[in-house]
Amino acid sequence: MGNSTELPGLDRSVHCPLAPRRSVAADAAVRDNQRGREPSVSQSASVVIVGGGIIGCAIAAELVQRGWRSVRVLERATVGGQAVIAYAGLLALPGSGSTDDPLSELGAASLARFPAVAADLRERTGIDVELRHTGGLVLAMTADEETALRAALPVLRGRDAACCWLDQHELRHLEPAVSPLFRGALLLPYEHQVLSPRLVEAYARAAALGGARIEEGVEVIGFERDSDRVVAVRTRTDRIAAEHVIIAAGAWSGALAALLGVPLPLGPLRGQLVRLHAWDTRIRHTLYRGDLYLAVKADGTVAVGSTEELAVYDRRPTLEGVRQLVTFVHETVPALGRAAFLEALAGLRPWSADDLPVLGRLPGYENVWVASGHARHGVLLSPITAFLMVELLEGKQPALSLAPFDPARFAR
Ligand SMILES: Cc1cc2nc3c(=O)[nH]c(=O)nc-3n(C[C@H](O)[C@H](O)[C@H](O)COP(=O)(O)OP(=O)(O)OC[C@H]3O[C@@H](n4cnc5c(N)ncnc54)[C@H](O)[C@@H]3O)c2cc1C
């Protein structure tokens, strides 16, 4: 064991994550998984990333960009499964907006990186992630809603001085299709969007072009440890020796940490989204009310999201979820009643017990790292997460304090 022998066939595993079908090697791996065969192959990597979601792919792209070699992303299903569902692709800043709110700070730092990241990905891969500056409107129907939104204004103006309250007349002028039942809205001028399926595609392709191996249909089922180090990860067919292991397995990250004897309260927060096609309704801003939103995408479709359902591992949309979203559409932009219903989607957001991302070294381990728990903000937070995780791997002091996101906080 412990050597870095690679079977020649496995070198052909999926390099381009966008290839429409698996490689011969990946197909063989899936067959072996199904037969439950014992691991038989020994290989090695400098970094093994468990999970090919937007976070795992963003980290892989950052690693190869900084010159890391022998990076492998192991994805048990297909790359970017959840990001495709996160079709809204909102770069909506989380938290209160206050400078002492760590999630706000992380979000703002990530948003600031997006123009450069989008340009860099386009140059490296030719993929346009459709970064668009749309602005957001948080709608108020009741007096209480208005009071709460106005109260948030002073702090939000610290984020962007152009944040302001729009009365009903101003709102109708800006967005005529919004229902006249709304009494006003908070304007958030800094909001942006991307096409999230394209973003994960671009990260994965940038990583692959930089030499990373992105392997689909490969499930990590265990780890081999030697005191405070993991020396290898085990898939159903292979043993891969690793210098570093990054757990970026979304809602399943907690289960993987548990295999290493570390309890991390990370689980699924299901979200549902519906997609519409509207030919004759113009909406420029992203519209919010509470947790729900409606956003027109660069391809002309409308994304309406998203529900929040705890501890559900089922990825099928429900009638109740769709009803909630359709009701929101009718109340917000009645003309969308004429829009074509394209599809309903459901995905599992990785959610931590304190609602903050989990970024850093796994307690008790020298070379195991966790990057998960991004909940509703994984698309927004992907650039900063990738940057900070690689800083950590390189032993640098991150520019932003990661203490609030330290996995060790749950052990205290
Ligand atoms: C409806 C909806 C709308 C959303 N909208 C937005 C939005 O507008 N803006 C925003 O910023 N965020 C949004 N999000 C949140 C965002 O999608 C998530 O935060 C993000 O996709 C999480 O990425 P991840 O890589 O951590 O996890 P995932 O995408 O879940 O990726 C983890 C991967 O790990 C793999 N895996 C798990 N276990 C193993 C194993 N043992 N071996 C190998 N692979 C394994 C899984 O198959 C999975 O592909 C939305 C989410 C949903 C559901």
CATH assignment at residue 379: 3.50.50.60
Say whether both 278 and 182 belong to one domain: yes
Question: Do 16 and 162 share a domain, yes or no?
Answer: no
| Residue 235: predicted pLDDT | 96
Is residue 244 within 8 Å of residue 47, measured between CB atoms?
A: yes
Mutation test residue for ligand 1: of 82, 84, 234, 370, the one with most atoms within 8 Å of CB: 82
Number of the ligand 1 atom closest to the C-alpha atom of 74: 43
Pair 313, 216 in one domain = no
pLDDT of residue 226: 96
**109 token code pair:** 């730092």
CA 53 to ligand 1 centroid distance, Å:
5
Nearest atom, ligand 1, residue 372 CA: 26
Residues 76 and 17 both lie in one domain: yes
On whether residue 126 sits in a domain, the answer given is: no
For ligand 1, atom 2, name the residue with the nearest CA. 86
What DSSP string describes 107-174?
HHHHHHHHHHHHHHHHHHH------EE--EEEEE-SHHHHHHHHHHHHHHHHH-TT-EEEEHHHHHHH
Task: Assess whether 319 and 296 both reside in one domain.
Answer: yes
Domain that holds residue 182: 133-192+267-352
Asked whether residue 76 is domain-assigned, the answer is: yes
Same domain, 305 and 169: yes
Residue 90 located in a structural domain: no
29 and 174 in a common domain = no
125 inside domain = no
Nearest CA owner, ligand 1 atom 45: 51
**Does 245 fall in a domain?**
yes
Q: Give distance in angstroms: CA of 7 to centre of ligand 1.
A: 31
Residue 303: which CATH number? 3.30.9.10
Instruction: Report the domain count for the chain.
Output: 2
Among candidate residues 329, 352, 375, the one where a domain is terminated: 352
Q: Whose CA is nearest to atom 26 of ligand 1?
A: 250
Containing 329, the helix (H) or strand (E) segment is helix 319-332
- Ligand 1 atom 20 nearest Cα: 378
Nearest atom (ligand 1) to Cα of 374: 19
Q: Is residue 276 part of a domain?
A: yes
End position of a domain, from candidates 305, 327, 352: 352
How much distance in Å is there from the Cα of 88 to the middle of ligand 1? 13
Per-residue b/e over 19-31, b at no fewer than 16 CB within 10 Å?
A: eeebbebbebbbe
Give the residues across from 222 on adjacent strands: 234
> Candidates 312, 374, 381: which one to mutate for ligand 1, based on the most atoms within 8 Å of Cβ?
374
CA–CA distances in Å: residue 43 to residues 5, 169, 403 = 5, 65, 34
The pLDDT tens digits along the chain (412 residues) read 333 222 222 232 333 333 333 333 333 333 333 344 455 556 889 999 999 999 999 999 999 999 999 999 999 999 998 767 778 899 998 877 777 889 999 999 999 999 999 999 999 999 999 999 999 999 999 999 999 999 999 999 988 899 999 999 999 999 999 999 999 999 999 999 999 999 999 999 999 999 999 999 999 999 999 999 999 999 999 999 999 999 999 999 999 999 999 999 999 999 999 999 987 778 999 999 999 999 998 888 999 999 999 877 888 999 999 999 999 999 999 999 999 999 999 999 999 999 999 999 999 999 999 999 999 999 999 999 999 999 999 999 998 999 999 999 998 7
Helix pair angle (378-393, 196-209), 10° resolution: 30
Say how many Å lie between the CA of residue 44 and the centre of ligand 1: 26
Ligand 1: residues with CB < 6 A are 50-56, 74-77, 81-83, 85-86, 88-90, 219-220, 248-252, 256, 271, 273, 305-306, 347, 349-350, 372, 374-380
Domain annotation covers residue 142: yes
Where is the domain boundary, 303, 322, 352? 352
- Whether residues 273 and 178 fall in one domain: yes
Contacts of 219 (CB under 8 A, 6+ apart): 33, 74, 76, 235, 236
Examine the domain organization and report whether 59 and 185 are in the same domain. Answer: no
Tell me, yes or no, whether 46 and 184 share the same domain. no
Domain identity same for 225 and 346: no
CA distance 372 to 71: 19
The confidence score (pLDDT) of residue 20 equals 31
Q: How far is the CA of 15 from the centre of ligand 1 (A)?
A: 21
Shortest CA distance to 52 belongs to which of 84, 96, 94?
84
Distance (Å) from CA 106 to ligand 1 centroid: 18
Q: Is residue 108 part of a domain?
A: no
Q: Are residues 278 and 161 in the same domain?
A: yes
402 CA → ligand 1 middle, Å: 21
